[in-house]
Amino acid sequence: MVEDVAPKDVWHTLTERADAQLVDVRTEAEWAYVGVPDLSPLGRRVHLVQWQSFPTGAPNAAFLEQLRASGVTPEQPVFFICRSGARSLYAAERAQQNGYGSVFNVADGFEGPPDTEGHRGQVAGWKVSGLPWRQG
């Protein structure tokens, strides 16, 4: 079972543990147009590994290979993030099934659920938590 972790708790762990990793599993389009978590204040970077391809939504058959190639190892604590916490949960489960022993899902993802008007990025998630992020 993969545990959901609040964004501020993820940031705290990334600050305290140099071996902890953050993997953003959204699409290239989301990274470019919506933004990405910014770990530069920690002297680190977020790993960008798509779970699905854009625009088809097809599963990324090379996900595990690309995760390893990005430098994330099974021995490290790994936090997975997507838009709302759904794709990242699947990615974390796949990693766990393939030998990654300490995986977590970032609760509410980067943008969180939609508000009453259907807009994301207003209710919960990485951005709303006031954590560092950058556009494109």
The pLDDT tens digits of the residues spanning 45-87 come to: 999 999 998 889 999 999 999 999 999 999 999 999 999 999 9
Contact between 111 and 121 under an 8 Å Cβ cutoff? The reply is: yes
Percent of the chain with pLDDT over 90: 97
Distance, in Å, from the CA atom of 25 to the CA atom of 58, rounded to the nearest integer, reads: 13
CATH topology (fold) of 3-131: Oxidized Rhodanese; domain 1 (3.40.250)
**pLDDT > 80? residue 5:** yes
CA-based nearest residue to 23, from 4, 40, 48: 48
Reported pTM:
0.96
